[in-house]
């Protein structure tokens, strides 16, 4: 940012010594009134750099990588104790909607809305649709923009930083939160601090600054120069601003984006617990980040330095940095045995990993893929993911265990004309009424009770009982019990793909969806 604050904005600047009528910062802090803050959780990424654990249809923000809770649940829980925080708005990909809804439900925090993006268009449009939604009731709250895949260890510092910036955001400032750097990191963009706007003596946050400049990810010598100067902060991708202020700046700098987002919101439809943006309008929307679209161009950007144990978990090396290390500097998860192995991250999802003589390596085991890479080359994992996508291999998109709104299924074995799956149906859940053109199915109940619709029949099956679904027969599976239903499904036929499903009735609104949804 060059220049000062824009017209109509009333900053709380540090007063010169001869300003007799200046209001002391302490008095300003004391008179700050409660301001409604609407958190916006951005959950649209695919997390390809954390493959093979993170997949396109089960990305990193939905995984429990650093504790019992998933990253999106940790983001939601970060809001607890903030009395002025309203229920969050969650922005996510259509393909992730049921997982997001289920994980938010597990936190006990009901979102104000779960807004579904028909296509990804980066963070600037995502925040715009959240701003339009937040203003539907005639209000103009502050939006606290939080990516769903961050770790913050010191929540009190984070919440204090939000409160410190709220008064300035209410006056028209666009706040970004800069992370006090722990070292010369080359994987983050940087923010150069400008003049001090306000200092604090009674907060964990010590000051708020004008933004002098946003800079791209530097090389190592440049990053060291930035850190040594004390003038630069890591760009966290977290923001705080009024809904109307953000939209005003977006309209000024990106009018086409503004218009597309406004149209997509005005024509949005409510579906179950979800808000579906109008597809055609949103597809026309330019793709850009908040930084490029607004923050680097506005005259009203401020930065709040935060030293809260932050990480964006953007790579396996970042997870190693954030993890609890043993005496050899290893981070171990699952069934792992090491000998003469140091500085490595080893993650077993099931099978035993035995490592001998490794130095600074990443080893990730899942049921259908194993990754081995030097820790300093993990950014190249995207090359592998792109290779898999180019050949339409399911390892880029799905795990062997695939989650659905009713439960999950896991492929146990597959051949040229057969496939065997373990299907788990949650208590009270119901699959769609459907049929297949190319396959027949044989179901064997191994746990719980199944209510089966087969053509015009209804069958109640208990453990060790089975039924056969001929090709072309309408059928449905329900779990009327109070424990999970587990059954083995044996498919046979000329084509066994998931897109050989014709849905006649579905309580989850999935009729006509893409094959992998």
Instruction: Please check whether residue 196 lies inside any domain of the structure.
Output: yes
Q: Are 93 and 202 part of one and the same domain? A: yes
- Whether residue 190 contacts residue 146, with contact meaning beta carbons closer than 8 Å, is answered with no
Kindly indicate the confidence band of residue 511, based on its pLDDT and cuts at 50, 70 and 90. Answer: low
Specify whether 105 is located in the same domain as 224.
yes
Residue among 41, 317, 313 nearest 151 (CA): 313
**Same-domain check for residues 169 and 305:** yes
pLDDT tens-digit readout, 361-382: 999 999 899 999 999 999 899 9
Do both 278 and 409 map to the same domain? no
Last residue of a domain, one of 311, 337, 367: 311
pLDDT band at 505 (very low <50, low <70, confident <90, very high): confident
Question: Which one of 311, 343, 374 terminates a domain?
Answer: 311
Quote the DSSP letter at residue 415. Answer: -
Q: How many domains does the chain have?
A: 3
CA-based nearest residue to 477, from 461, 495, 497: 461
pLDDT for the residue 363: 98
Is 139 contained in some domain? yes
Residues 193 and 265 in one domain: yes
CB–CB of 260/285 below 8 Å? Answer: yes
Asked whether residue 456 is domain-assigned, the answer is: yes
Residue 118, in any domain of the structure: yes
What single-letter DSSP state applies at residue 79?
T
Domain enclosing residue 335, as ranges: 316-382
Instruction: For residue range 62-77, list pLDDT tens digits in order.
Output: 999 988 899 999 999 9
- 13 domain-assigned: no
- 339 & 486 share domain: no
The 3-state DSSP class for residue 460 equals strand
Indicate the residue among 311, 342, 368 that finishes a domain. 311
Q: What is the CATH number of the domain that holds 249?
A: 3.90.550.10
Is residue 239 within 8 A of residue 298, CB to CB? The reply is no
Average pLDDT, integer, range 143-157: 95
Considering the domain architecture, whether residues 63 and 90 belong to the same structural domain is answered as yes
Report residue 378 as tokens.
């993990």
Structure letter (DSSP) for residue 277? P
Q: pTM for the whole thing?
A: 0.82
Is the model's pLDDT at 6 over the cut of 50? no
Say which range, 46-55, 162-171, 256-265, has the weakest mean pLDDT. Answer: 46-55
In terms of C-beta density within 10 A (0-12 exposed, 13-18 middle, 19 or more buried), how is residue 66 classed? middle
> Does pLDDT of 211 surpass 60?
yes
**Which CATH number does the domain housing residue 477 bear?**
2.60.120.10
Q: Is residue 446 part of a domain?
A: yes
Comparing 81-95, 270-284, 393-407, 472-486, the range with the smallest average pLDDT is: 393-407
Answer whether residue 24 is part of any domain: no
Shared-domain flag, residues 200 and 150: yes
- Please give the share of the chain, as a percent, with pLDDT higher than 70: 92
Whether 276 and 334 share a structural domain = no
Confidence band, pLDDT 50/70/90 cuts, at residue 297: very high
Q: Does 375 lie in the same domain as 281?
A: no
301 and 372 part of one domain: no
419 shares a domain with 353: no
Domain assignment present for 389: no
- Is a pLDDT exceeding 70 seen at residue 27? no
Q: What is the mean pLDDT of the chain?
A: 89
Grade residue 510 by pLDDT with cuts at 50, 70 and 90.
low
Q: Hunting for tokens 């938010």 — which residue is that?
A: 104
pLDDT at 32 over 70: no
CB-based contacts of 355, cutoff 8 Å, min separation 6: 336, 337, 338, 339, 341, 344, 346, 361, 363
């Amino acid at each position: 940012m060059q220049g000062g604050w824009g017209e109509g904005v009333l900053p709380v600047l540090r007063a010169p010594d001869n300003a007799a009528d200046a209001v002391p910062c302490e008095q300003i802090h004391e008179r700050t009134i409660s301001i409604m803050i609407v958190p916006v959780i951005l959950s649209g990424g695919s997390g390809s750099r954390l493959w093979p654990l993170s997949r396109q249809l089960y990305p990193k923000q939905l995984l429990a990588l650093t504790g019992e809770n998933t990253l999106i649940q940790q983001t939601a829980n970060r809001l607890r104790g903030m009395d002025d925080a309203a229920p969050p708005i969650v922005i996510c990909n259509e393909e992730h909607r049921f997982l997001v809804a289920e994980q938010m439900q597990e936190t006990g925090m009901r979102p104000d809305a779960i807004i579904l993006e028909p296509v990804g268009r980066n963070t600037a449009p995502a925040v715009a649709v959240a701003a339009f939604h937040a203003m539907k009731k005639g209000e103009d709250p502050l939006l606290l923009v939080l990516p769903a895949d961050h770790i913050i260890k010191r929540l009190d510092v984070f919440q204090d930083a939000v409160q410190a910036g709220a008064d300035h955001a209410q006056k028209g400032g666009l706040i970004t939160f800069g992370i006090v750097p722990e070292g010369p990191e080359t994987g983050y963009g940087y923010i150069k601090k400008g003049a001090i706007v306000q200092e604090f003596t009674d907060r964990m946050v010590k000051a708020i600054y004008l933004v002098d400049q946003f800079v791209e990810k530097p090389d190592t010598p440049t990053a060291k120069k930035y850190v040594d100067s004390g003038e630069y902060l890591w760009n966290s991708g977290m923001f705080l601003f009024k809904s109307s202020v953000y939209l005003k700046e977006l309209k000024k700098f990106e009018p086409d984006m503004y218009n597309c987002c406004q149209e997509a919101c005005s024509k949005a439809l409510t579906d179950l617990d979800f808000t579906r943006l109008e597809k055609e309008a949103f597809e026309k929307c330019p793709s850009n980040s908040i930084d490029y679209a607004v923050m680097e161009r506005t005259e009203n950007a401020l930065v709040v330095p935060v030293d809260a144990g932050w990480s964006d978990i953007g790579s396996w090396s970042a997870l190693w940095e954030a993890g609890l290390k043993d005496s050899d500097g290893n981070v171990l998860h699952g069934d792992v045995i090491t000998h003469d192995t140091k500085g490595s991250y080893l993650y077993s999802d099931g099978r035993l990993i035995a490592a001998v003589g490794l130095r600074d390596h990443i080893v990730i085991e899942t049921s259908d893929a194993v990754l081995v890479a030097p820790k300093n080359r993990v950014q190249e994992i995207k090359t592998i993911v792109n290779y898999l996508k180019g050949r339409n291999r399911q390892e880029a998109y799905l795990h062997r265990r695939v989650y659905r709104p009713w439960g999950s299924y896991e492929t146990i074995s597959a051949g040229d004309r057969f496939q065997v799956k373990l299907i788990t149906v949650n208590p009270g859940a119901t699959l769609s009424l459907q049929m297949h053109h190319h396959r027949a199915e044989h179901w064997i109940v191994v746990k719980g009770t199944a209510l089966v619709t087969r053509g015009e029949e209804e069958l109640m099956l208990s453990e060790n009982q089975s039924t056969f679904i001929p090709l072309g027969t309408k059928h449905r599976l329900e779990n009327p019990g109070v424990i999970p239903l587990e059954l083995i499904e044996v498919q046979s036929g000329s084509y066994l793909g998931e897109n050989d499903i014709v849905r006649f009735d579905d309580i989850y609104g999935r009729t006509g969806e893409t094959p992998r949804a």
